[in-house]
Structure 1
Amino acid sequence: MVTYLYWFIILALACGALFGIGARLGRWQLAVILAAVIAVVGAMTYYFWLQQIFVKRYGGVMSITIPQGLQHIGSTWKDDNLWIEDYNPETNECIFREYSRGDLLQGRVVLKNCNPLGASRSVSAPATNE
């Protein structure tokens, strides 16, 4: 909901610039430039700063695709960054990936010889015939 409100405000500002400066004052070149700047700054602000804040704090929506061949284990928030844990059964590795604001700084931690899906099986005692 808050995401829709944000984009409505950005669209209203861009249309207001077009109508207020372009239609009322007749300065269409300035109106188009200002509307484009509002749209670009609004999109960059959302993508590089607000997207994960909206999702974490205000119930926004975000989609992440797990790479093919990996099995999803869990996810958690650290500050405003989302950490995803996946398991690669082919290499027996657990992979933690960070989704930071704007995907600029993405951390990655790989745990070798990780088998979280039940590797510790108990060895049964041999049966005795009595």
Structure 2
Amino acid sequence: MVTYLYWIVVIGLVCVALFGLGMRLGKWKPALVLAAVIAVVGSMAYYFWLQQIFVKRYGGVMSITIPQGLQHIGSTWKDDNLWIEDYNPQTNECIFREYSRGDMLQGRVVLKNCHPIGARPSVPPATATE
């Protein structure tokens, strides 16, 4: 709901710039420039600053795709960044990935020889002989 309200405000500001400057005052060039600036700044503010804040604090919606071949273990918030833990059964590694604002600065931690509880091993354990 907060996300929709945000985009309604941004689109409203674009319309005010277009109709206020363009139609009422007849200054279309400044109106188009101002509308483009408002749209670009509004979009960048959302994707690089507000998206995860809206999701975490106000119940927004965000979709993240787990890479092919990995098993999802868990996720947690650290400040306003989402950390996702996945398990790679082929390499026996646990991978923590940071989904940061704007998907620009990505943290990544790899745990080698990871044996998460409940994960399916890719190679069955050898049977013991007596």
Matches within 5 A, 1:100-111: 100-111=100-111
Give secondary structure in 1 for the equivalent of 2:38: helix
Give the structure-1-normalised TM-score.
0.90
CA distance in 2, matches of 1:35, 1:70: 43
Matches within 5 A, 1:14-29: 14-29=14-29
- Larger deviation: 81-90 or 98-107? 98-107
Give secondary structure in 1 for the equivalent of 2:43: helix
Deviating runs (4+, > 3 A) in structure 1? none
AA partner of residue 107 (structure 2):
G
1:45 counterpart residue number: 45
Aligned residues: 123
Matches within 5 A, 1:110-121: 110-116=110-116, 117=119
1:31 counterpart residue number: 31
CA distance in 2, matches of 1:36, 1:12: 13
2:57 counterpart residue number: 57
CA distance in 2, matches of 1:18, 1:33: 9
CA distance in 2, matches of 1:42, 1:3: 12
% identical aligned pairs? 79
1:67 counterpart residue number: 67
Superposition CA RMSD, Å: 1.7
CA distance in 2, matches of 1:60, 1:34: 29
CA distance in 2, matches of 1:99, 1:66: 12
CA distance in 1, matches of 2:115, 2:88: 9
